[in-house]
Chain A
Amino acid sequence: AQSVTQLDSHVSVSEGTPVLLRCNYSSSYSPSLFWYVQHPNKGLQLLLKYTSAATLVKGINGFEAEFKKSETSFHLTKPSAHMSDAAEYFCVVRGGGADGLTFGKGTHLIIQP
């Protein structure tokens, strides 16, 4: 069985400052890990994914995440926040079993002007 823990339900940063959204995972298998973003009244959009290639994964809109097996973490970062980054972010794991994705509870990212 797999699970995901997003360590912060809300993160607030000022525009132009770095973003860090934290995620820890648990999986019995070698996992695939994803970050999805959900803007209000819009569908889930894939930001990036890790599938056992490079441990540092680059995604869209300047986001990246680093897979650290020893820490079972997959934190999402961005060097400089933009107002348009305000949204709900989900850390997601897929590994064996039913092939359905297991989502974290989400982190609400707030960007202060």
Chain B
Amino acid sequence: DTGVSQDPRHKITKRGQNVTFRCDPISEHNRLYWYRQTLGQGPEFLTYFQNEAQLEKSRLLSNRFSAERPKGSFSTLEIQRTEQGDSAMYLCASSLVGERETQYFGPGTRLLVL
């Protein structure tokens, strides 16, 4: 399978714990995006990378959220000191930069904070 993959697919954690999600993009794609989707809503853009550079992070929801893409391949999204309001689906997408850029999405990681 050469699509976008995410791990884990499901995560249950207790309030106050830290969690980290991983995204592996389509191999030749140089852009990688993170989104959050809450129940009954469309995905909400959080941040994105072009190669290893994080070009936009002002949309991250709070300073508890951070993302990395150290070698320009896979990326991680970390949430520190989780809160119940962080419960959501976290989606990753990748693309090849260009005028006709199209983002391809992974299956998501569903987070439940108890």
A residues with a Cβ closer than 8 A to B are 32, 34, 36, 42-46, 49, 51, 90, 92, 94, 98-106
Partner of B107, one of A43, A49, A101: A43
Enumerate 23 A-B pairs (CB-CB under 8 Å) in ascending A order.
A32-B101, A43-B4, A43-B105, A43-B106, A44-B93, A49-B100, A49-B102, A90-B43, A94-B101, A98-B56, A100-B33, A100-B45, A100-B46, A100-B56, A101-B35, A101-B43, A101-B103, A102-B45, A103-B42, A103-B43, A105-B40, A105-B41, A106-B42
For chain B, residues 44 to 69, give those with C-beta under 8 angstroms from any C-beta of chain A: 44-46, 48, 55-56, 58-59
Q: Say whether A90 contacts B56, CB under 8 Å.
A: no
Task: Count how many chain B residues have C-beta atoms less than 8 Å from C-beta atoms of the other chain.
Answer: 28
- Per-position contact with A for B85-102: 1 when CB-CB < 8 Å, else 0? 000000101000001111
